[in-house]
Structure 1
Amino acid sequence: MFSDVGPLELVTLVILAVLLFGPDKLPEVIQNVVGFIRKVRESSDSAKQEVRSELGPGFEDFVFDDLDPRTLVRKQLMDNDALGFDEIRSAFDLRQDMTDVADAVRQGQGGGDEGGSSAPVSLLKSGSAAVPPEHPPFDRDTT
């Protein structure tokens, strides 16, 4: 419940409580607050038990946290693989694709004359100038 309260915030709250209520009344205030929290928890637990009993015999193990939409989505979509998320994740495995590409590049560089991949390498090595592609004629009157 108070998991997000840090130590500095806790010290600040204690100092503020001592200043507001004084050291004489502080134990009484703490007892009243603890009693109030205990009563709220008891009423919450009794309300949960009443709802479970009213739902009938198949809901004894009903968890009220499942009513939270985030928990519902996480439980329904992520825990079971009915939608095929594992297959989608494996289809987008970039590591495997990168290793395949790296292997293909290594084979093309180290193999010499192994097909079409060595032709551009031989053109670059021979020093011949690359021919720029021809552009279609441009007519300024039509544009």
Structure 2
Amino acid sequence: MFDSIGWVEILIIIVAGLFILGPERLPSAAAWVGKTVRQVRDYATGAREQLKQEMGPEFEQLRKPLEDLRELRNFDPKRAITKHLWDDDPAEKPNGHPAVPPSSAQSTRDRPLQQGERPPYDPDAT
């Protein structure tokens, strides 16, 4: 439920609630919000279970297009293209370079840089 809300936003909501409601009423308001969210979640779960019992096997046929829509909502073009292009050849890394054994890759990355030397380009560091 709170996938898109980070800790900073939650902290801002708590501070705003503290200023708006005051320290006396904030705990009771938070308890009410928690109870209401729990009740709504229980209603949704109960409705889904009742629908599943009444529809039987057709319920899964109804859920499949909804799951496809959820996947489209979380669509990341970069990840899809990378998976499509390099999924067939596990020896290739997504940045187009052949896979390097960890010992040689580690030795070039972990060595100290010489004066004036730039660190190697890492396309995954974005």
What is the TM-score with the length of structure 1 in the denominator? 0.43
Larger Rg: 1
What is the TM-score with the length of structure 2 in the denominator? 0.48
Higher relative contact order (CA 8 A, sep 6+): 2
